[in-house]
Amino acid sequence: MVETVLDYLERWSRENILPALQGEGDALTKLTRMCLRLNELYEGGEQPCLFAILQLGSARDVFHAKVKVLLQAWIDAIANVLVESGLKEELALQRGEDAAIAIQGSLILSLGLDDPAPFKRAIAQLPTQLTSHDF
């Protein structure tokens, strides 16, 4: 069952997240598209953080390597968009990690509070935060 969820997540990412980040447009447009797709996947913050679930208990031993590859591909795809927009590679990779933290963390918080507002806020703010040259 868990393997099926992980396979779905991998396929969904390949079909939705990576094309959103590699498609036409500037960095803000690409990141906004990614966030819209994530909003669909997580139903506006109503669905659990799949990566976190796959890292709990004995599931981590079984699925960690595949989860790591998926997360790294996602982070790298975000970083590539940011490098293309003019950020240095190290900062772009950090912001890619920041994106994963914001999205996955806001999902956990939203579910814990029974309130999707933190996820919705994170998704709405993320493209602008990631493309900002101020921090």
CATH number for 51: 1.10.357.10
* Angle at which helices 2-12 and 57-84 cross, to 10°: 0
CA dihedral 50, 55, 58, 62 (to 10 degrees): 80
Q: Which parts of the chain sit beneath pLDDT 70?
A: 1-2, 50-62, 134-135
Cα distance between residue 95 and residue 84, in whole Å: 14
Per-residue pLDDT at 63: 73
Enter the tokens of residue 11.
């396929």
Per-residue pLDDT at 133: 78
Q: For residue 15, give its domain range.
A: 2-131
Task: Give the distance, in angstroms, between the CA of residue 12 and the centroid of all CA atoms in the same chain.
Answer: 12
Enter the tokens of residue 10.
């991998």
pTM of the model: 0.88
The number of folded domains in the chain is: 1
